[in-house]
Structure 1
Amino acid sequence: MLLEIDNITLLYGRIQALHGISLQVDEGEIVALIGANGAGKSTTMRAVSGLRPIASGQIRFAGQDITNMRADLRVIRGISQAPEGRGIFPGMTVQENLDMGAYTRRDRAGIQADLKRVFELFPRLSERRKQAGGTLSGGEQQMLAVGRALMSRPKLMLLDEPSMGLAPMLIQQIFSIITEINQQGTTILLVEQNAQQALSRAHRAYVLETGRIVKSGTGEELLRDSSVKDAYLGVA
């Protein structure tokens, strides 16, 4: 098991955002978290990446307790995140943004190999490597956020709402690339409003409601589940 979240709670001031969340991600999987806005999906991601401290429970990664580990050390351990809203550096070029993704690394040959891989996955970024990140389209910025996360050579990649604000054709393209990244050996934990796409791609998935996991199963099982269809897939 690569990631194990065991009964975690998380507070924003006096408000409890997560109520005893437990889930696991095995090596090689795509695992999706789906749910409405405010369900706790992004908060769970921030707990895993170390951006928000948890109040109780435990997080283990590759057999090690990382519950109280600093966020930058989690990156070195092998966790990277493409955050909700993309979070690129608008005044830096595409190349500089990608270089920032590799800031914990010293293996120059490996960094160059991964840069080549990112440009193969996202040829548009190669064309715009000298362009400022803030001048890219929304779809290109999303590609850059995913590419930057890849540059740390993660064992586990956290993708938070990768399709948000994208045109339907671009959504399809981003999800195809996510599947390709997974097939190349990167395990993925995916938070996504587009439940249809997420469940179609995921090996397993969890449904969150108001900070609690209310359902889990394979992507296929949840696609067929009538309550999931009603709530998230827009199908009766």
Structure 2
Amino acid sequence: MALLELDDVSVNYGRIRALHDISIAVEEGEIVTLIGANGAGKTTTMRAISGIRPLSTGRISFAGDDITKLRADLRVVRGICQAPEGRGVFPGMTVLENLDMGAYARKDRKNLPAELEHVFELFPRLKERRTQVAGTMSGGEQQMLAIGRALMSKPRVLLLDEPSMGLAPQFIAQIFSIIGEINRAGVTVLLVEQNASKALNLAHRGYVLETGSVVLSGTGQELLNDDRVRAVYLGGEVAAS
């Protein structure tokens, strides 16, 4: 049984169907990526998993339990946490205050100092800027903060929505390196990413979404070598990791 499963999930925005009966499985310990063009349904999938967007049909299960109708905040308590598209940091709060907000739902607060130190080990720049107001930080720094804040919830599954969007190349390389490190430390990752080459080189498995449907799936390497993926998402080339 997969840690996280979506079974025939559909999501509507009014009369528009954004997801069409998609089925996705994420095994414990994996990095799984969703790739696709703008409007393919990637962010809607993440919102459905987080509980922000209700399903029209289908079922979501986590660790063997049906969470289809579970409130979003209770999904965080269960171990599902998202670093959203656009980062979504609290601009008027300091780095430390943002990170503390990530732990708002936790009852086991005695371990927070050690976990805060772990976030600072992953992101030394956040430690340097811990008293800085988040709204004055660069995009790359805010992305680090968004991921660090999500980690403070102690997730079993970390949902990352477009972590490289709008970042300079040096930040992109750093973010992907840290995602791999987070996974090696035992956190399962579901990654939505438009940089298909980076995502597939990092991921154990992937799904390709087009207009709200899953059209391809396979290991990261299989999708990197798929002619259709290469033509549409990789510019005809397989980029090295």
Amino acid at match of 2:154: R
Query: What's the offset of the Cα at 1:194?
Result: 0.2
- The question of 1:154 aligning with 2:155 is answered yes
Q: TM-score, normalised by structure 2?
A: 0.97
Amino acid at match of 1:22: S
Give the aligned partner of residue 36 of structure 1.
Answer: 37
Query: What's the offset of the Cα at 1:166?
Result: 0.5
Give the aligned partner of residue 74 of structure 1.
Answer: 75
Amino acid at match of 2:8: N
Give the aligned partner of residue 222 of structure 1.
Answer: 223
Query: What's the offset of the Cα at 1:108?
Result: 2.6
Unmatched 5+ stretches in structure 2:
none
Query: What's the offset of the Cα at 1:201?
Result: 0.3
Count of residue correspondences:
236
Give the aligned partner of residue 167 of structure 1.
Answer: 168
Give the aligned partner of residue 102 of structure 2.
Answer: 101
Amino acid at match of 1:166: L
Give the aligned partner of residue 180 of structure 1.
Answer: 181
1:8-64 deviations in Å (ceiling 9; x for gaps):
100001100000000100000000000000000000000000000000000000000
Query: What's the offset of the Cα at 1:234?
Result: 1.2
Moved segments of 4+, more than 4 Å: none
Q: TM-score, normalised by structure 1?
A: 0.99
Give the aligned partner of residue 141 of structure 1.
Answer: 142
Give the aligned partner of residue 210 of structure 1.
Answer: 211
1:80-123 deviations in Å (ceiling 9; x for gaps):
00000000000000000000000011323211111000000000
1:64-87 deviations in Å (ceiling 9; x for gaps):
000000000000000000000000
1:215, 1:168 → 2: CA distance? 28
- The question of 1:124 aligning with 2:117 is answered no
- The question of 1:13 aligning with 2:17 is answered no
1:183-229 deviations in Å (ceiling 9; x for gaps):
00000000000000000000000000000000000000000111101
- Partner-residue secondary structure (3-state), 1:89: coil
Query: What's the offset of the Cα at 1:235?
Result: 1.8
Give the aligned partner of residue 59 of structure 2.
Answer: 58
Query: What's the offset of the Cα at 1:162?
Result: 0.2
1:105, 1:180 → 2: CA distance? 23
Amino acid at match of 1:46: R
- The question of 1:85 aligning with 2:51 is answered no
- How large is the Cα RMSD of the aligned pairs? 0.6
Q: Indicate the larger mover: 103-112 or 19-28.
A: 103-112
- Partner-residue secondary structure (3-state), 2:34: strand
- Identity, % of aligned positions: 69
